[in-house]
Amino acid sequence: MIDLTRLHAHEMARLLRHGDVTARELTEAHLALAERQNRALNAWLTIDRDRALAEADAADARLAAARAEGARAVDALHPILGIPIALKDLVSVAGGKATAGSRILDGYRAPYDAHITERLRDAGAVILGKTNMDEFAMGSSTEHSAYGPTANPWALDRVPGGSSGGSAAAVAAFHAPVSIGTDTGGSIRQPAALCGIVGLKPTYGRVSRYGIVAFASSLDQIGPFARNARDAAALLHAVAGRDERDSTSAPVSVPDELLSLPAADDEAAGWLRGKRLGLPREYFVAGMEPQVEHRVRAAVAALEAAGARVDEVSLPHTDYGLATYYIVAPAEASANLARYDGIRYGPRLGNGTVLENYLATRGRGFGPEVKRRIMLGTYALSAGYYDAYYLKAQKVRTLIKQDFDRLWLEGFDALVAPTSPTVAFPFGAKMADPVSMYLSDACTLPVNMAGLPGISVPCGLADGLPVGLQFIGAAWSELELFHLSRAYEAITAGADWRGLEPADLARADDPGTPTPAERAGVLSAS
């Protein structure tokens, strides 16, 4: 018997078209696994069984109608049709919860679908539910969720990364073949690296943000998680494209070639021949774990052996990226989160004056990390400090982008770098030191500052935990990044680590395994 949850999305699509499996069978298999293991992982905030099965039945009806019309009609179906998918819990689904990992949105139900939800429905995807996340996407570990932390399937006492940790863990644990996350400073790529899967942050403007709970509007971007490049590319194809309701959504065509990445390893590996890749020296940051650096440099050597030319390059303003990001992002968050006042969204706390109720709602509704960033952002925007902090940060942001632009003009096809300086760290290891937590995104956030696409792919294990390799490209070069990622998959197809599953999945199956919150509490106490 085939374990349907272990299939890749493109394999599921082929079986669905041939009538060898139904979307309902796929959906039921993934729902059963997610429901059984979620106590141990806490990857899901909502599992919507009834809606998912209804969408699966609708997908089966579309498949049956297409098969009745003939091969051309079947070929015209999007490969995401009938495929189970998980959404980060800041994506609006009409009538469904959208907590953004915060108590301040308890009880809120979205009155409309996000643009990407509409696109997924049009393609016929099956939405299984909503995944856990750091509150308002502010965090690098998913420990800042108001609904408890998520565990990493590779080691249940460690974090999956963040803020899209639930979406990454759900894919790594085979609860869904693909999922949606958002990336403001690395929140797709970093958890992809820590969970051993593929995660893409698209070019800013490639995917509409309409219907997404905002963190920092000039940085947020929606993107896919998957277990390989082909599936991630198909999901991006389904959700990308211009949306008139989002003024930052770019009128740039989405290449259909995203749906035809090479299936054969020999053909895929050939993409590397003659490619010129830059290796930024600044991305090997202080504090990088030696085994992580070893794995990344081994991956770079494999790329060179397969025909790519790799040159060391410099992005001199990278060192200012972290400080710049933590002025720009909190400033935008301060403005975006002003709307949560206990009147328009979620619960209204307190029983006094309007001001007393406002303070009570925000004081008890927001968690400590959100409060920290609101205060930082409000300070940076305040009279007398705007020019000194926010305006200067925007000028440095321009310099960061110019560093990348110079390399594209010099003829580099892409950059290759570490995704995260560390493997997944234990619960509580960085909660008492916010700066240490912020450094988790040191290799990813410059890409957001420049509005560029970046992708993380697994490149092996360090001490039994996944390590991520990052490709960074020029604006709108997602197809190039997917080709490079697929090529790297091809040249490492025979590696021992390729066939390994997350080590703690058996423990996740045990109903007696403690919850992530219980494990985190024990670790914190010790």
pLDDT tens per residue, range 472-491: 999 999 999 999 999 999 99
Burial of 49 (0-12, 13-18, 19+ CB in 10 A): middle
Query: How many helices and strands (H and E) does the chain possess?
Result: 19, 11
Cα of 74 vs its chain's centroid, Å: 30
Q: Beta strand pairing status for 222-226 and 178-182?
A: antiparallel
* pLDDT value for 383: 85
Q: CB within 8 A of 258, min separation 6: which ones?
A: 233, 234, 236, 237, 478, 479, 482
Active site residues: 88, 163, 187
Question: Is the bond into 163 cis (omega within 30 degrees of 0)?
Answer: yes
Q: How far apart are CA 321 and CA 402, in angstroms?
A: 13
Sign of CA dihedral 225, 88, 325, 476: positive
* pLDDT value for 274: 96
Backbone region of residue 241 per phi and psi (left: phi > 0; alpha: psi in -120 to 50; beta: other values):
left
Q: Where are the domains of the chain?
A: 4-320+397-525
3-state secondary structure of 87: strand
Please check whether residue 495 is in contact with residue 466, taking contact to mean a CB–CB distance below 8 angstroms. Answer: no
Nearest to 137 by CA among 241, 217, 225: 217
Q: How many CB atoms lie within 10 A of CB 307?
A: 15
Consecutive H or E run containing 278: strand 276-280
Q: Does domain 4-320+397-525 have CATH number 3.40.50.20?
A: no
| Positions of the chain with pLDDT lower than 50, given as ranges | 525-526
* pLDDT value for 8: 98
- Give the N- to C-terminal CA distance of the chain in Å, as an integer: 44
Q: How far apart are CA 148 and CA 295, in angstroms?
A: 32
Q: 501-505 contacts: CB < 8 A, separation 24 or more? A: 501/174, 502/152, 502/153, 502/154, 502/172, 502/173, 502/195, 502/196, 503/154, 503/155, 503/464, 504/151, 504/152, 504/153, 504/154, 504/155, 504/156, 505/37, 505/153, 505/173, 505/174
* pLDDT value for 522: 60
Q: Which residues of 24-70 form beta strands (DSSP E)? A: 44-47
* pLDDT value for 523: 55
Q: How does pLDDT run across 272-287, given as a tens digit for each residue?
A: 999 999 999 999 988 8
Q: How far apart are CA 168 and CA 201, in angstroms?
A: 13
Q: How many residues does the chain have?
A: 526
Q: Which two tokens stand for residue 210?
A: 């309409």
Taking the model in full, what pTM does it have?
0.96
